[in-house]
Structure 1
Amino acid sequence: MNARSWTAQWIWGGDEESPRNEWRCFRKAFELPAEALEVAWLHLAADSRYILYVNGERVGRGPVRSWGEELFYDSYEVGHLLRAGEQNVIAVHVLHFGLTNFYYIRGRGGLLAELECFYQSGAAAAPVDKAMLICSDDTWSTSRLLAQGPYSPRMSCQQGFAEIYDARAWDERWVPIDYQEEGPDSTWEKAKCIGPAGMDPWKRLKPRDIPFLTEEKIYPSRLVSLRRVKAPSWTAAMDLRAAMMPDSIEHANPVSYVGYLAGELILKQSGKVTLGFPGGWRTEKVWVNGKLCTDWFGDTPERYCSLDLDAGEYFVLIDVTSWDHGGSFHLAVDAGVPLQWKKSAEKMEEPETPFVLIGPFDTAVHIDHQDPQQLRLDHPEYLKAAGAANRKELQDLSRWIHPLPGALYCEDDVFGASVWTVEAQLYSIPSQLERAIMPTPEPAVIPWVENSTDDYEIVIDVGRETTGFIGFEVEAGAGTVIDICGIEYIRDEFRQHTYGLDNTIRYVCRAGRQRYLSPIRRGFRYMVLTVRDAAAPVKLYEVYVHQSTYPVTNAGAFQCSDPLLNEIWNISRHTTRLCMEDTFVDCPSYEQVFWVGDSRNEALVNYYVFGSLDIVKRCLHLVPGSKDMSPLYIDQVPSGWSSVIPNWTFFWSIACLEYVEHSNDVGFAVDIWPAVRYTLEHYLQKLNAEGLLDMRGWNLLDWAPIDQPNEGVVTHQNLLLVLALRKAAELARIAGKDAEAAELFLQAADKLSSAINAHLWEKQQQAYLDCIHSDGRRSDIFSMQTQVLAYLTGVASGRRKEIIGSYLLNPPTAFVQIGSPFMSFFYYEALAEAGRYEQMLSDIRSNYGQMLRYDATTCWEMYPNFSENRASKDLLTRSHCHAWSAAPGYFLGQSILGVKRADPGWTRILIEPQPCDLTWARGSVPLPQGGRIDVSWGVDGDTMDISVSAPGSVEVEVRVPQGMQKQIRMVESK
């Protein structure tokens, strides 16, 4: 649908232009004429996200992520939901973030909506006229959704907020037509018009450029466990980043600050008190009445300290000096005696919470990853405050003391209460409880004991990793609390909590039977559902997930004689699907962020397993939108983090050419070429006197401990720039643009290749070193990562290429080994180029087979057991679902099944199977022009029997390994 002109006005409500974490409801009731509608279109945009209802029916969610000034709008055909001659209602639930993160740039709260109703004029053959227009304006009604707690914790630095919902405070029936807005306690008011379409900050409105996402109801597969549990006496989550640096809500860059958090703990009786950090340990500098806590215990990142205290008041001082990218600071206290925090502050400004901030005495905003800027830790007032035993000792620092704002403080800390379980008793799962995962009329009853304070926890296995929206139906007493925490991995007694991600919901029940569907997207496999404060038995009728992904069909397929490889291909496909939202995302749980470099590999896998084009094109178009933040383009978009990974920009430019070669979309090449040229020209300005790329940035390639400093000459970066320049020259040729610039890029690539060979090859080691540091020191670290790229980019040639080629088969033990499946993708590319398919299959079986051994249903972000994992022995990987890791989905189809593009647009295809030790394989690869190619082959002795089904418009060539005979059967598909 083309861009359109708007009559509607942007509207909002309340007193704040951009409130923090506000859910706001909008309604418009109207009457339609009695004539039958021909068609009706509802167009809308919102900041930040919306859910649309028409006459009580949920229609859709949106909008897709975008840069702030260029907002996408959605259009829905809703004529089938409207009632001619009757009252109708449009209801919109808008979720406004109120801060910048990794997938949203802060704007302001707003809704823009326009309904176009078309009727047939006169005779049936007459044109259709627009007879009615319903526009957002000040006749719409609005109210904050009172059940939602705007103080809920940040999910993570990358995302928005966790969820607290008190169903007692809101009528969930607000979306149908018969809802009454008026009443003595009504909070509904007329919406405020804030400006026309085209107003700042949404200067340009563009039609959605991809299909709507799916919603598929998924029921769990089993119950894992049932426990009686007890949470700590008190938990809280705080946004210290926003508290210490209020302006940090305008960006997503990491910050640092120097300061303290302080409060007064009151004990009515003597007893043992345990204080700790269930969400991650930041400091050992915790003082209670001036005494430093030293007896810390617990497995990191959790840490706790126990103290024997008499009845009285205790001044707790915590040094929270930190490098802080965002998220929540979780603090908890448990005691066998009653405790409370004092909420009045003698001789201090009255706080909104029990805590005050002392400082910050120094702050820093870090643009580059791990910026080395040092904080001032010798500030005299900071040193003076250390170890303070009471408030009086801080009187001279009054100008540094500020209350912790209530909006940044939350005692409904589901994550802290779920991670730190101070008591737990395991029970057998009664058969009736199994009904919790079955959509039957008969409910499961959660265990309950009258007059007991016990909480009960059930762990629910969805069966495999999923992404989407959690829903449930329960019958409960008013005030009963349902806590849900999503996690990715459980093995025996070990639970891998999502440290750094508050993946939680707290739902407070009203009395009676009720349903709830969360509007917050989450990724997980297991739901830890805990019932707290139940005054009566809780009946659980169903719990489910509305799985939501980019709409794909299973056009790609792969099977072979090795069941292990079949399952590896299946988890690669499932991983890729879960990481396809409105862009490719790195993972559905921790981040949900479009990382530019990751998407190059994800696009290639997608071509083979799904064949979707629009999502790739959309991702590629989004990247140059960061040019105002950096001409080098940032590494995740659209985002408020001004971070540059040079390799990610190089992968993007390479992916632009690969998309054109795959789709034969010359128009895209014409459109994108100026953006590719622009950034690469800026990179060429970063060459030093030796002709090497020498720059500051997040110079990342792999999570393994290779020598890739954030400043200096990094070899793998130089190698990828060579490849990017050559690919860009080919893109320019296809676009028919800038022959002179293309030639200059080719010349620059040759010069850079020569400089790499002259300065970065170590003769004694017979390998390329990892880097030259900014002080001129040559790295003594050699890695397989660097050698793989030297081979793959063609910079290593002649004898050097032979040497590196031998390393592909037998990596020297002294070299840093590959640490992530992302890097394995390039390793497999190099092995395929070298014709070493047996080694590729061996590596896939070993590494991905290990994932399956540990019950993986998706591909891991990391390989375990190396230093960058930063984890205990139980932690196999951080993220258990990472699309940058789905390499087998591409290589099993491209190399083993042997289906390869020979010409742009797949007008000519090469079938070149590599059986290795397999006896048969079959599969399908979707074609960009529609349809697919089906291939089946079997090996009998030295003969390969091959069957190919392809569209008649496609030319097919079949080759078999040297020394084999072939029998070919060609079938033209319809």
Structure 2
Amino acid sequence: MAFTFQINDDVVFNHDERLLAKAEANRPVLKQRVIQPTRLVDIVADEAGLNGYVAVDNEQDVARLTDYPQGRDGSLVLDFGDHQVGHFSIDIDSVGSPMDAPLYLRLKFAEIPAEIAADSAEYDGWLSKAWIQEEYIHLDTLPTHLELPRRYSFRYVELKVLDTSPKWQTVFSKPQVVAESAVEATDAPTVQLADPQLQKIYDISVKTLQDCMQTVFEDGPKRDRRLWIGDLRLQALANYATFDQRELVKRCLYLFGGMTTTDGKIPANVFTAPQLTPDDTFLFDYSLFFVSILADYQAQTNDRAVLDDLYGIAKKQIQVAAQKVDPQGALRLDDAWPVFVDWSNDFNKETAGQAIFIYTLKQFITLAHLVNDEAVVEYETLLAQMTRYARETLFDDQQQLFVSGEDREINVASQVWMVLAHVLDDNQNALMMQKMVAQLFPITGIATPYMYHHVVEALFEAGQTKAAVQLMKDYWGKMVDLGADTFWEAFKPEDPDFSPYGSPIISSYCHAWSCTPAYLIQKYL
């Protein structure tokens, strides 16, 4: 896995207050549910568990929590039964002699059991350790009702008494989380599938999406809690197939449209707290995906007012991107505006980038016709040039696969995105995907559900339904087998314990770009 932080502090952003006011008008009121833990568990080492740990029942009854006082180094682990996103509170008291010292308490919140076992002091990854979900608290007097101000993303909570005094012990009662989301589980229609494995995958996909739907479509409620445009595109598609909460999509479109650079470019993500702030990170394909999100929204809603507001911004993304296309129709990117495609930098991304531009350009032309843009001929000409270059130069007739870069590399992403862009006809796409499966499967080196989504969708688009379903089961189904309550930011089936940060304690186990099986199942099965 690889990632490069961008720092572009010389970039100046516009703030279109009219568009941002429309974003605020579509801000959802979060729905809240009070959830109590279902049991007390022990976290034990088990080679079969993700990262070597599982949660097992102990003989204690969570309904009798006050029967289990804890002194120095004592601990309890609460299991809330499913993944939760919200604010935690608990009542704490003392038993024994008078309280002659403060309570020193650590609370650790975990999406998977291995996070409880991980020692945060040993974490030395490239992401900030400030994301680790644990709190150290001194309480001078008891009893008290402790409400933590921070929002957490978790299933398990460890209550670790670091110290009291020899004279007294701590007792806990009434633990709960006020879970928050823009939607309720019951807002999505019930879907009954004949295949039990696909049913589990579908249900967990919906739960993943729900927990990422906050005041914006967050990429992950544990980390980074941001609106990323690549995640948004996939979340919006999954949302249309399930909750169909259109106002939240509209809000996110207006947020991106209201904060472009002075040359019109869309940032890769935006912060929404404490104030609206566009990030100084720019990705070529993410900027173009603004066009996709607008086109998908228009197809779903026929909301002409949003199209009229944002068409010019979508057009600007195409215009800026077109400056990177040479007269032969070849996309020529540079390091200043990289194409993302996937976290991994272990494969050449030039051909995938070309295909993504073709994919979004086709969607833009559809929008251009809707608004009667007379300049549409210019973009149809650009599309023809880029498509011709892809067919005549990037497609290897002998291998019947697309190549990428000076070394004419053959990789999964090139084939997948060329299929999604429908650069070849249906018969050629089917043959190409059959060759890809034969030559490049099983997939290695790719660890994101984001990229796996596109592989599965390309298989469906090429008529390879059996292979698409099998890959969905091999990838998301493997997460289910490993105990997933929600789907993860990163996962390698060939290396289940893999973390891009070197530790499960910082990884996100509820992540937006992993929620798409619900969409894929609804659309193709």
CA contact (8 A) 1:458 1:530 kept: yes
Pair 1:495–1:505, CA change in 2 (3 A): closer
Is 1:619 the equivalent of 2:248?
no
Higher helix share: 2
Return the offset for 1:678: 1.3
Compared with structure 1, are the counterparts of its residues 517 and 810 closer, same or farther at alpha carbon in structure 2 (3 Å cutoff)? same
1:482 aligned partner, one-letter code: L
**Equivalent position amino acid for 2:34 in 1:** K
Q: Tell me if the contact between 2:212 and 2:512 (Cα under 8 Å) persists in the aligned partners.
A: yes
SS of 2:466's equivalent in the other structure is helix
Given residue 87 of structure 2, which amino acid in structure 1 is its aligned partner?
A: F
Contact 1:483 1:529 in 2 (8 A): yes
In structure 2, do the counterparts of structure 1 residues 816 and 750 end up closer, same or farther at CA, with 3 Å as the change threshold? Answer: farther
The secondary structure found in structure 2 opposite 1:548 is strand
Contact 2:110 2:116 in 1 (8 A): no
Deviations 1:719-738 (A, max 9, x none): 1111211111111222x242
Q: Deviation at 1:789?
A: 0.9
1:519 partnered with 2:152: no
| C-alpha spacing 1:601/1:509, structure 2 compared with 1 (3 Å) | same
Change in 2 beyond 3 A, CA 1:625/1:519: same
CA contact (8 A) 2:85 2:153 kept: yes
Query: Is residue 885 from structure 1 mapped to residue 514 from structure 2 by the alignment?
Result: yes
**1:486, 1:523 within 8 Å by CA — same for their partners in 2?**
yes
The Cα offsets for residues 45-101 of structure 1, whole Å up to 9 and x where unpaired, read as xxxxxxxxxxxxxxxxxxxxxx996789xxxxxxxxxxxxxxxxxxxxxxxxxxxxx
Cα distance between partner residues in 2 of 1:895 and 1:789: 18
Is the 2:85–2:151 contact (alpha carbons within 8 Å) kept by the matching residues of 1? yes
Code of the residue aligned with 1:733 in structure 2: it is H
Deviations 1:707-755 (A, max 9, x none): 246xxxx111111111211111111222x242x2222222211111112
Separation of aligned partners in 2, 1:494 and 1:630: 48
Question: Structure 2 length as normaliser, TM-score?
Answer: 0.82
Aligned to 2:265, the other structure's residue is in SS state coil
- Which residue pairs with 1:19 in the alignment? none
Greater strand share, 1 or 2?
A: 1
Q: 1:629 to 1:779 in 2, by over 3 A?
A: farther
* Aligned partner of 1:698 among 338, 350, 353: 338
1:540 aligns with 2:172: yes
Alignment of 1:895-914 (within 5 A): 895-896=524-525
For 2:323 and 2:215, the matched residues in 1 are separated by: 34
Matched with 1:483 is 106
Q: Does 1:530 align with 2:347?
A: no
Indicate the residue corresponding to 1:225 in structure 2.
42
Distance 2:192 2:31 in 1: 27
- In the TM superposition, what is the alpha-carbon distance from 1:809 to its structure 2 partner? 4.6
Task: In structure 1, give the amino acid aligned to 2:228.
Answer: W
Shift of 1:214: 1.6
Could you tell me whether the CA contact under 8 Å between 1:860 and 1:877 is conserved in 2?
Answer: no
TM-score of the pair, normalised by structure 1: 0.46
> Which residue pairs with 1:681 in the alignment?
319
SS at match of 1:893: helix
C-alpha contact 2:152 2:221 (8 A) present in aligned 1: yes
Equivalent AA in structure 2 for residue 675 of structure 1: I
Q: Residue deviations 1:462-511, cap 9 Å, x none?
A: 22221111111111446212211222222599649686422222332131
Q: Residue type matched to 2:475 in 1?
A: N
Is the 1:211–1:551 Cα contact (8 Å) retained in structure 2? no
- Distance in 2 of aligned mates of 1:794 and 1:429: 55
Residues 876, 526 of structure 1: alpha-carbon distance in 2 compared, 3 angstrom cutoff:
closer
Which of 442, 458, 462 matches 2:76?
458
Separation (CA, whole Å) in 2 of partners of 1:573 and 1:872: 26
Q: Distance in 2 between matches of 1:788 and 1:868?
A: 26
Structure 1 residue 813: deviation in Å? 4.7
Give distance in 1, aligned partners of 2:264 and 2:286. 13
For 1:733 and 1:574, the matched residues in 2 are separated by 37
Which residue of structure 1 aligns with residue 89 of structure 2? 471
CA RMSD of aligned residues (A): 3.4
Counterparts of 2:388 and 2:288, CA distance in 1: 19
- Which residue type is aligned with residue 457 of structure 1? S
Confirm or deny: 8 A CA contact 2:40 2:57 kept in the other structure: no
Matches within 5 A, 1:360-399: none
Name the residue aligned to 1:95: none
Identity of aligned residues (%): 22
Contact 1:635/1:649 (8 A) holds in 2: yes
Q: Work out the CA distance in 2 between the residues paired with 1:596 and 1:858.
A: 21
Q: What is the CA-CA distance between 1:641 and the residue it aligns to?
A: 3.2
Corresponding position of 2:486: 858
Cα separation, 2, equivalents of 1:556 and 1:630: 43
The structure number with the bigger radius of gyration is 1
**Equivalent residue for 2:295, pick from 646, 652, 657:** 657
Are residues 1:846 and 2:474 paired? yes
| Counterparts of residues 508-657 of structure 1 (less than 5 Å) | 508-535=138-165, 536-552=168-184, 553-628=186-261, 631-638=264-271, 639=277, 641-657=279-295
Deviation of residue 653 (structure 1)? 0.8
> For residues 895 and 557 of structure 1, do their structure 2 counterparts lie closer, same or farther at Cα, with a shift above 3 Å needed?
farther
1:24-423 maps to which residues of 2 (within 5 A)?
A: 207-225=24-42
**2:53 — aligned with what?**
none
Q: 1:725 to 1:673 in 2, by over 3 A?
A: same
Conservation of the 8 A alpha-carbon contact between 1:489 and 1:880: yes
Matched residues in 2 for 1:630 and 1:526: separation?
46
Summarize deviations over 1:652-672 as a string: whole Å, max 9, x none: 211111111111112211111
SS in 1 for 2:188: coil
Instruction: Report the AA paired with residue 417 of structure 2.
Output: L
SS at match of 1:852: helix
Q: 603-612 or 622-631: which moved more?
A: 622-631
Structure 2 CA distance for aligned equivalents of residues 708 and 622 of structure 1: 32
Does the 8 A contact of 2:78 with 2:158 survive in 1? yes
Residues 869 and 701 of structure 1: is their aligned pair in 2 closer, same or farther, counting only changes over 3 Å?
A: farther
Classify 1:488/1:715 alpha carbon distance in 2 versus 1 (closer, same or farther; 3 Å). Answer: same
Partner of 2:51: none
Paired position in structure 1 for 2:48? none
Q: How far, CA to CA, are the matches of 1:827 and 1:702 in structure 2? A: 12
Alignment of structure 1 residues 719-758 onto 2, 5 Å: 719-734=355-370, 736-738=371-373, 740-758=374-392
SS at match of 2:42: strand
How many residues are paired up?
Answer: 479
Q: Say which SS state the counterpart of residue 667 (structure 1) adopts.
A: helix
> Could you say which residue in structure 1 is the equivalent of 2:347?
707
Q: Tell me if the contact between 1:598 and 1:648 (Cα under 8 Å) persists in the aligned partners.
A: no
Output the CA distance in 1 between the equivalents of 2:396 and 2:442.
15
1:876–1:543: structure 2 CA closer, same or farther, 3 Å change rule? Answer: closer
Q: Aligned equivalents of 1:662 and 1:621: distance in 2?
A: 17
In structure 2, the partner of 1:259 is: none
Deviation string 1:347-378 (CA, Å, 9 cap, x unpaired) is xxxxxxxxxxxxxxxxxxxxxxxxxxxxxxxx
Quick one: distance in 2 between partners of 1:206 and 1:688?
Answer: 37
Post-superposition CA distance 1:639-688 (Å, at most 9, x none): 45311111112222111111111111122111110110112101111223
Q: Is the 8 A contact 1:687 1:693 kept in 2?
A: yes
| Partner Cα separation in structure 2 for residue 797 and residue 516 of structure 1 | 62
Q: How far 1:870 moved relative to its partner?
A: 5.3
Inter-partner Cα distance in structure 2 for 1:647 and 1:207: 26
Alignment deviations for residues 445-466 of structure 1 (CA, whole Å, 9 cap, x no partner) = 4322xxxxx3223222222221
- Per the TM alignment, residue 218 of structure 1 is displaced from its structure 2 partner at its CA by 1.2
Contact 1:586 1:883 in 2 (8 A): yes
Secondary structure class of the residue paired with 2:409: coil
Q: Does 1:793 align with 2:421?
A: yes
SS at 1:614 equivalent: helix
Gaps of 5+ in 1: 1-66, 73-202, 228-426, 449-453, 773-777, 897-974
Q: What secondary structure sits across from 2:239 in the alignment?
A: helix
